[in-house]
Amino acid sequence: MTVFPKSKRLSLRLDPIAKQKIEQASSLANCSVNSFILSSVLDKAEQLICTHETVKLSDRDRDLFFAAILNPPAPNPALKEALALHRRLAESDV
């Protein structure tokens, strides 16, 4: 894992009750408030990113997906035209 120097700041405003809860929780976790907030926010960020980057399929949809990958249908005329257009555009960029 690459370690980067900590040079970026993030600030937030919160009410006294929220601050007290965070201080109490960080104390119970035996870490600083900054460490507690960073750890908690990074955990939540990872969960959210994972949720949005993960595709969940039903068994039926999974089977259909793999069947299409293993036995793709023949290209239709629209796909053939799109490939021809792509080739023409790619050749004109050279």
pLDDT (tens digit per residue) in 13-55: 999 999 999 999 999 999 999 999 999 999 999 999 999 999 9
49, 61: one domain: no
User: Cβ(33)–Cβ(23) under 8 Å?
Assistant: yes
- pLDDT-above-90 percentage for the chain: 83
Q: Indicate whether 4 pLDDT > 80.
A: no
64, 79: one domain: yes
Does any domain span residue 91? yes
Tokens representing 7? 């040079």
Does any domain span residue 1? no
pTM of the model: 0.58
Q: Indicate whether 94 pLDDT > 70.
A: no
Q: What is the pLDDT of residue 5?
A: 78
42, 30: one domain: yes
* Structural domain that includes position 27: 16-54
Average pLDDT over residues 63-69: 95
